[in-house]
Structure 1
Amino acid sequence: MKNAYDTLVERGFIEQTTHEEEIRELLEKESVTFYTGFDPTADSLHLGHFVQIMVMMHMQQAGHKPVALIGGGTAMVGDPSGKTEMRKMLTEEDIDKNAESLKNQISKYLDLDGEKGYAINNKEWLKGLNYIDFIRDIGKHFSVNRMLTAECFKSRMEKGLSFLEFNYMLMQSYDFLELHKRYNCKLELGGNDQWSNILSGADLVRRVESESAYGLTFKLLTTSEGKKMGKTESGAIWVDPNKTPPFEMYQYLRNIDDTNVENTLALLTFLPMDEVKRLGSLEGAEINKAKEILAFEFTKIVHGEEEAIKAQKAAKALFSDGADMSNIPSTDMDKSIFEKGIGLLDLMTDLGLTSSNGEARRLVKQGGVSVNDEKITDFKKEITSDDFEDGKLMIRKGKKKYHQVKI
Structure 2
Amino acid sequence: MELLQDLQWRGIIYQQTDEEAIKEVLNKEKISLYCGVDPTADSMHIGHLLPFLTLRRFQAQGHRPIVLVGGATGLIGDPSGKSEERNLQTLEAVEHNVSCIKKQLEKIFNFEGDNGAILVNNYDWAGSMDIVTFLRDIGKHIGVNYMLAKDTIANRLETGISFTEFTYTILQAMDFMHLYEHHNCKLQIGGSDQWGNITTGLELIRKMMPEGSKAFGLTIPLVTKADGTKFGKTESGAVWLDPEKTTPYEFYQFWINTADADVVKYLKFFTFLSQEEIESLEKSVQEEAHLRKAQKALAEEMTRLIHGEESLQQAIKISEALFSGDVKNLSAAEIQQGFKDVPSYEVKEETEANLVDLLVAAKISPSKRQAREDITNGAVSLNGEKVTDSSYTLQAADKIEGKYTIIRRGKKKYYLIKY
Question: Alpha-carbon deviation of 1:125?
Answer: 1.0
Match of 1:290 in 2: 294
Partner of 2:361: 341
Deviation string for 1:98-144 (max 9, x for gaps)?
11111121112212359622111000111111212222222222222
Question: Closer, same or farther in 2 for the Cα pair 1:394/1:149, shift >3 Å?
Answer: farther
Q: 1:106 to 1:342 in 2, by over 3 A?
A: same
Q: In the alignment, is the contact (CA less than 8 A) between 1:221 and 1:229 conserved in 2?
A: yes
Partner letter of residue 223 of structure 1? K
SS of the residue corresponding to residue 14 of structure 2 reads strand
Written as runs of structure 1 = structure 2, the 5 A alignment for 1:135-154 is 135-154=135-154
Equivalent in 372, 383, 393 of residue 407 of structure 2: 393
Counterpart position of 2:49: 50
Alignment of 1:218-257 (within 5 A): 218-257=220-259
CA distance in 2, matches of 1:181, 1:319: 55
Report the equivalent of 1:98: 97
Cα deviation per residue 1:291-326 (whole Å; 9 max; x = unaligned)?
A: 111111111111112211221222122221425444
- List aligned pairs for 1:5-404, cutoff 5 A: 5-112=4-111, 116-209=116-209, 210=211, 211-281=213-283, 282-283=285-286, 285-286=289-290, 288-322=292-326, 324-326=329-331, 327-328=334-335, 329=337, 330=339, 334-336=346-348, 339=358, 341=361, 391-393=405-407, 404=416
TM-score normalised to structure 2 length: 0.80
Q: Which moved more, 1:120-129 or 1:102-111?
A: 102-111
Change (3 A) 1:372 1:98: farther
Distance, in Å, in 2 between the alignment partners of 1:159 and 1:85 is 7
Shift of 1:372: 8.4
SS of residue paired to 1:138: helix
After superposition, what is the alpha-carbon deviation per residue over 1:156-198, rounded to whole angstroms, capped at 9, x for unaligned? 2222111110000000001111111111111100011101101
- 1:13 and 1:335, CA in 2 relative to 1: closer, same or farther beyond 3 A? same
CA shift for structure 1 position 207: 1.7
Shift in CA distance, 316/207, structure 1 to aligned 2, threshold 3 Å: same
Q: Percent sequence identity over matched residues? A: 40
Distance 2:89 2:125 in 1: 19
Note the aligned Cα RMSD (angstroms): 2.9
Q: Take 1:168 and 1:404, find their aligned partners in 2: how far apart are those partners?
A: 48
Measured at CA, do residues 80 and 226 of structure 1 come closer, stay the same or move farther in structure 2, by a change above 3 Å? farther
Query: What is the CA deviation profile of residues 224-251 of structure 1, one whole-angstrom value per residue up to 9, with x for unaligned ones?
Result: 2444411122221111111111100111
How far apart are residue 222 of structure 1 and its match?
2.0
- Secondary structure at the aligned position of 1:206 is classed as helix
Which secondary structure does the structure 2 equivalent of 1:103 belong to? helix
TM-score by length of 1: 0.82
Report the residue type matching 1:161 in the other structure.
I
Instruction: In structure 2, give the amino acid aligned to 1:56.
Output: L
For structure 2, the 5+ residue unaligned runs are 352-356, 365-378, 382-392, 399-404
CA deviation after TM superposition for structure 1 residue 406, in Å: 4.5
CA distance in 2 between partners of 1:201 and 1:134 (Å): 15
Instruction: Work out whether residues 84 and 159 of structure 1, in 8 Å CA contact, stay in contact via their aligned partners in 2.
Output: yes
Q: Tell me by how many angstroms 1:333 deviates.
A: 6.0
Hey, what's the Cα distance between the residues in 2 that align with 1:242 and 1:191?
Answer: 26
Q: Go from structure 1 to structure 2 and tell me whether the alpha carbon gap of 1:265 and 1:175 turns closer, same or farther (over 3 Å shift).
A: same
For the Cα contact (< 8 Å) 1:81–1:194, is it kept in 2?
yes
Letter in 2 for 1:335: V
Tell me, yes or no, if the aligned pair for 1:279 and 1:287 is still in contact at 8 Å: no
Residues 345, 362 of structure 2: 8 Å contact kept: no
For residues 302 and 267 of structure 1, the distance between their equivalents in structure 2, rounded to whole angstroms, comes to 15
Q: 1:23 to 1:226 in 2, by over 3 A?
A: farther
Q: What SS does the corresponding residue of 2:35 show, helix, strand or coil?
A: strand
Show structure 1 runs of 5+ residues with no match.
Answer: 345-370, 374-384
User: Structure 2 vs 1, CA of residues 273 and 86 (structure 1 numbering), >3 Å: closer, same or farther?
Assistant: same
Distance verdict in 2 for CA 1:372–1:73, change over 3 Å = farther
Whole-angstrom CA distance in 1 between matches of 2:267 and 2:320: 21
Shift of 1:6: 2.4
| Larger CA deviation: 85-94 vs 131-140 | 131-140
Distance 1:402 1:41 in 2: 36
